[in-house]
């Protein structure tokens, strides 16, 4: 923040930022509708839609029956034929019930039809652990969808980005899947007023550094930044990159960082094996940046098990700040 | 059963069950109520993490539906499943221990409120996924038929679940394969905030049975005897190999959907109206009116239930936590190394 900033910057929570984006989009464009379970008078399971139903009515803020496959598919069909639906899964885990329409239909219909149609669909997925909701309500499934050509998959980590990326998703002619970590909903941060977009497919350098590149997604960005602060106190200067988009991935920002630092640590909450970090690592290993590496690449990801209920166990299955600190120290000090 | 005028005026449950069985049923209803009140209190005091879905007000449906089951028979349950556990003879201490995330809990602290299961007693488990238990119940019925065990499966689900594809696919498969399963819909008027009027195209969920060529009945789910009469007939039909049925128990949850519900979608009057139709009060009256229990006897059952819950909480509180090093245990079955 520079000295010329006149007054304190406006702050919103992550959930409020999403709501503001939806509100702006709905006010500007009648084709935008919201669909999901309990997003009307209830305001959404995480109070993201809030009171929008009172402003736009039940014709545009539609409570679906508990029918994920049908609801998601209706959104696909509506997107194909002139509407701009924003579909909320109550928890990302329930997208498992709608995979058919997401993976076989939304992702592929344009290609299968030789480019004759497009699916301007936005889906929102509250995801991640930390709420004590156990194995079927705590997953991080972005890598599942990131595996599917035809989908774009984003993981905004700040209130500013989630607003901008949601608006960018609505401008996008193709299906965009937004993974929102549930623990971020209450996090506050600066959010610019009015309409703006944040590009899909572009990573952000959250902290510049020269010793090691930490590439993190979603809530892990905040843990990585906390780790970087601690590491700074120990003389290690970490660069923290917020990947922001899983597909299409911003190769150049990551590669440029690795060329500079020569060390790479990937941090993500999804299960480590075959997760987002596997793709980042492979992408670096396949590039010229590989020659710049001074240490093996390290991935910190979710444990190889479902998310347990007990709070201590739940914490243990996802990377925490001390895990990042330790991994970075090992990489920098050549201990692996 | 003799068909005299007199007998017809006596409620089904009184005719079908012994005083001991009926007393035990009321005991279980009290246990469910006290368990959930105890869970709520523990939550408020910060002893329980996460969320929970309470079935206070729905006890007659859980206990009445399971009356003619043995430990060999199976149930599948839902996120609102504490009552089903107790009806299927669960150990209250192990239930509380699970809530507290302890190693002595039903799921060794890995599952929490939404995943309690007791396979030894035929409870295949609660489910975090609405409709998740429906096909599993049909699978259990397929096993029973193929293996010739004679077991019946009761599949509990909520009104909200009737709009999942899994519901429709499951009823159809169970019907074409004539499987011994009873689908018990606990219709408490809402799936979270969404009323059945706003979510469901039929007036009664039991009307869906027609589409799958099985009997369908809607009963007062707060009337223990009515529930028992309908479900027992469906269980008997399943045991005779005549296939599935759909029973709809009309009931109401007194509490919010979960801990984060602000009850914006229903009125205070509606809630208090249903609280005036307390299934435990009417079951107590039924047993007193038929000379099975005295009022003191009823009060003693309630006090006894309170003590059981106190002991269960004490057991849970004193139990050890799971070891963090063992967090990845039980993802796969540990197989003996081949010789
Ligand atoms: C597939 C799926 N969709 C949504 C949810 C979130 N959710 C949990 S319970 C519930 C309402 C279920 O309503 P109902 O089946 O009527 O059961 P009740 O809660 O009334 O007992 C919802 C929407 C879920 N757990 N699983
Ligand atoms: Mg319901």
The partner residue sitting opposite B321, judged by closest CB among A136, A312, A317, is A312
- A309-322 pLDDT, tens digit per residue, is 999 999 999 999 99
- Rounded to the nearest angstrom, the minimum Cα separation between A81 and chain B is 24
Atom 7 of ligand 1: nearest residue by CA position: B130
Q: In this structure, which CATH number among 3.40.50.12500, 3.40.50.970, 3.20.20.70, 3.20.20.140 belongs to the domain A11-192?
A: 3.40.50.970
Residue B259, pLDDT score: 86
Residues of chain B with pLDDT under 50: none
Active-site residue, selected from the candidate residues A37, A68, A88, A180: A68
* pLDDT in the model for residue B3: 58
* Contact in structure between A292 and A258 (CB atoms under 8 Å): yes
Question: Which among B128, B106, B124, B225 has a CA at the least distance from the CA of B181?
Answer: B124
Average pLDDT over residues A175-198: 98
Q: In this structure, which ligand is nearest to the CA of B130?
A: 1
In contact, A137 and B113? CB cutoff 8 Å = no
Cβ-in-10-Å burial (0-12, 13-18, 19+) of B4 comes to exposed
Contact indicator for B77, B122 with CB cutoff of 8 Å: no
Q: Is A147 a catalytic residue?
A: no
Q: Which ligand is nearest to the CA of B162?
A: 1
Average pLDDT over residues A254-283: 98
pLDDT of residue A1: 43
Confidence of residue A6 (pLDDT cuts 50, 70, 90): low
Return the HEC string of B190-243.
EECCEEHHHHCCCCCHHHHHHHHCCCEEEEECCCHHHHHHHHHHHHHHHHCCCC
pLDDT of residue B7: 66
As a CATH number, domain A204-332 is 3.40.50.920
Q: How many whole angstroms separate alpha carbon B206 and alpha carbon A260? A: 67
Phi, psi (deg, nearest 5) at residue B180: -80, 75
**Is B79 touching ligand 1 by the criterion CB < 6 Å?**
yes
Question: Is B279 in contact with B248 (CB distance < 8 Å)?
Answer: no
Please judge whether B193 and A313 are an interchain contact, meaning their C-beta atoms are less than 8 angstroms apart: no
Q: What CA–CA distances, in Å, run from A4 to A1, A7, A96, A190, B278?
A: 8, 9, 49, 16, 65
Residues of chain B neighbouring A271 (CB-CB closer than 8 A): none
A11-192 and A204-332 in the same fold? yes
Q: What angle do CA B214, B215, B217 make, to 5 degrees?
A: 140
Across the beta sheet with A152-154, the strand order is A61-63, A32-36, A84-88, A122-127, A176-181, A152-154, A245-247
Mutate one of A58, A96, A308 to test the B interface: name it (highest B CB count within 10 A): A308
With a 6 Å cutoff on the Cβ, whether A68 touches ligand 1 is yes
Residue B102 and residue B109 in contact, taking contact as beta carbons nearer than 8 Å: yes
Top residue of B105, B188, B327 to mutate, by most chain A CBs within 10 Å, is B327
Q: How many CA atoms lie within 13 A of A232 on its CB side?
A: 13
Cβ pair A134:B131 closer than 8 A: no
A308 to B109: CB separation less than 8 angstroms, yes or no: yes
Q: Which element (helix H / strand E) includes B36?
A: helix B19-44
Among A66, A309, A311, beta carbon nearest to B160 = A66
Which atom belonging to ligand 1 lies closest to the Cα atom of B188? 20
Q: Which ligand is nearest to the CA of B58?
A: 1
In this complex, which of B101, B128, B327 lies closest to A136 when CB atoms are compared? Answer: B128
The CA A44 to ligand 1 mean position distance, Å, reads 13
- List chain A domain ranges: 11-192, 204-332
φ/ψ of A110, rounded to 5, equals -60, -50
Phi-psi region of B4 (alpha: psi -120 to 50; beta: other; left: phi over 0): beta
**What is d(CA B102, CA B49) in angstroms, rounded to the nearest whole number?**
12
Q: Which residues of B touch A99 (CB under 8 A)?
A: none
Contact A69 CB / ligand 1 (< 6 Å): no
What's the topology of domain B24-318? Rossmann fold (3.40.50)
pLDDT digits 0-9 by tens, A115-126: 999 999 999 999
| Cα(A144)–Cα(A153) distance, integer angstroms | 10
Rounded Cα distance between A34 and A26, Å, is 9
Q: What residues form DSSP beta bridges with B220?
A: B250
- The answer to whether the CB of B200 falls within 8 A of the CB of A65 is yes
B191 Cβ inside 6 Å of ligand 1: yes
> Quick check: helix, strand or coil at residue A78?
helix
Helix ranges, chain B (H): 5-9, 12-16, 19-44, 59-65, 82-87, 92-99, 133-147, 165-176, 196-199, 224-239, 268-275, 279-289, 295-318
Rounded CA separation A43/A65 (Å):
15
Distance, CA of A307 to CA of A135 (rounded, Å): 5
pLDDT at B2: 54
User: ipTM of the assembly?
Assistant: 0.96
Q: Does B331 touch chain A (CB under 8 A)?
A: yes
Residue ranges of domains in chain B: 24-318
Ligand 1 probe mutation, B52, B134, B191, most atoms within 8 A of CB: B191
* Element holding B62 (H helix, E strand): helix B59-65
pLDDT tens digits, residue range A75-117? 999 999 999 999 999 999 999 999 999 999 999 999 999 999 9
List the structure tokens of B18: 């012994």
Range A272-277 average pLDDT: 98
Give the pLDDT mean for A5-13. 81
Closest approach atom of ligand 1 to CA A97: 1
Q: What is the pLDDT of residue B337?
A: 74
Hey, are the CB atoms on B163 and A309 less than 8 Å from each other? no
More confident residue, A335 or B66: B66
Whether the per-residue pLDDT at A257 is higher than 60: the answer is yes
Cβ pair B322:A135 closer than 8 A: no
Q: Ligand 2 (ion): which residues have CB within 5 A? A: B 158-160, 188, 191
């Amino acid at each position: 923040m520079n000295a010329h900033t006149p007054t304190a910057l406006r702050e919103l929570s992550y959930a409020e930022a999403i709501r503001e984006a939806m509100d702006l989009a709905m006010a500007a464009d009648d084709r935008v509708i919201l669909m999901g379970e309990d997003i009307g008078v209830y305001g959404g399971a995480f109070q993201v839609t809030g009171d929008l139903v009172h402003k736009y009515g039940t014709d545009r803020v539609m409570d679906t029956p508990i029918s994920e496959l049908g609801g998601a598919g209706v959104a696909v069909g509506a997107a194909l034929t002139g509407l701009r639906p924003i579909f909320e899964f109550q928890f990302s885990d329930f997208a498992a019930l709608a995979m058919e329409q997401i993976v076989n239909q939304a992702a592929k219909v344009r290609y299968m039809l030789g480019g004759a149609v497009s699916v301007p669909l936005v889906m929102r997925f509250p995801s991640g652990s930390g709420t004590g909701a156990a194995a079927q309500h705590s997953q991080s499934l972005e890598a599942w969808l990131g595996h599917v050509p035809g989908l774009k998959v984003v993981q905004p980590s700040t209130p500013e980005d989630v607003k901008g990326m949601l608006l960018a998703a609505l401008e996008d002619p193709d299906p965009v899947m937004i993974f929102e970590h549930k623990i971020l909903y209450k996090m506050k941060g600066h959010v610019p007023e009015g309409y703006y977009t944040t590009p899909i497919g572009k990573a952000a350098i959250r902290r510049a550094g020269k010793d090691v590149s930490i590439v993190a997604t979603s809530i892990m960005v905040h843990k990585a930044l906390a780790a970087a602060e601690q590491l700074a106190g120990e003389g290690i200067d970490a660069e923290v990159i917020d990947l922001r988009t899983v597909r299409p991935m911003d190769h150049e920002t990551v590669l440029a960082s690795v060329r500079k630092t020569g060390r790479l640590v990937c941090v993500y909450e999804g299960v480590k094996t075959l997760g987002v970090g596997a793709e980042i690592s492979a992408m670096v290993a396949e590039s010229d940046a590989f020659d710049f590496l001074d240490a093996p690449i390290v991935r910190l990801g979710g444990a190889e098990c479902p998310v347990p209920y007990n709070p201590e166990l739940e914490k243990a299955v996802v990377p925490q700040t001390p895990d990042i600190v330790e991994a970075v120290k090992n990489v920098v000090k050549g201990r692996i | 059963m003799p068909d005299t005028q007199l007998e017809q005026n006596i409620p089904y449950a009184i005719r079908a069950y012994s005083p001991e069985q009926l007393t035990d049923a009321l005991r279980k209803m009290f246990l469910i109520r006290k368990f959930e009140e105890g869970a709520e209190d523990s939550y408020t005091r910060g002893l329980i993490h996460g969320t929970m879905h309470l079935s206070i007000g729905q006890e007659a449906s859980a206990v009445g539906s399971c009356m003619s089951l043995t430990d060999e028979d199976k149930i599948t349950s839902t996120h609102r499943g504490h009552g089903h556990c107790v009806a299927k003879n669960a150990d209250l201490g192990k239930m509380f221990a699970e809530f507290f995330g302890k190693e002595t809990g039903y799921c060794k602290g890995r599952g929490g409120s939404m995943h309690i299961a007791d396979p030894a007693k035929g409870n295949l488990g609660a489910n975090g996924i609405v409709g998740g238990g429906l096909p599993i119940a049909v699978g259990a019925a397929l096993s029973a038929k193929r293996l010739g065990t004679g077991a019946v499966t009761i599949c509990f689900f909520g009104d909200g679940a009737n709009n999942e594809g899994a519901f429709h696919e499951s009823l159809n498969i169970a019907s074409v394969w004539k499987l011994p399963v009873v689908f018990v819909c606990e219709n408490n008027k809402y799936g979270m905030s969404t009323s059945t009027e706003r979510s469901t195209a039929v007036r009664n969920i039991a009307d869906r049975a027609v589409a799958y060529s099985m009997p369908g009945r809607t009963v007062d789910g707060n009337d223990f005897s009515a529930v028992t009469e309908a479900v027992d007939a469906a269980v008997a039909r399943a045991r005779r190999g005549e296939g599935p049925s759909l029973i709809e128990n009309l009931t109401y949850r007194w509490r919010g959907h979960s801990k984060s519900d602000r009850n914006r979608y229903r009125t205070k009057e509606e809630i208090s109206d249903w609280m005036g139709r307390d299934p435990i009060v009417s079951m107590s009256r039924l047993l007193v009116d038929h000379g099975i229990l005295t009022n003191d006897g009823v009060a003693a059952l309630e006090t006894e239930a309170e003590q059981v819950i106190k002991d269960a909480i004490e057991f849970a509180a004193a139990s050890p936590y799971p070891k963090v090093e063992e967090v990845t245990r039980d993802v796969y079955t540990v197989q003996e190394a081949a010789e």
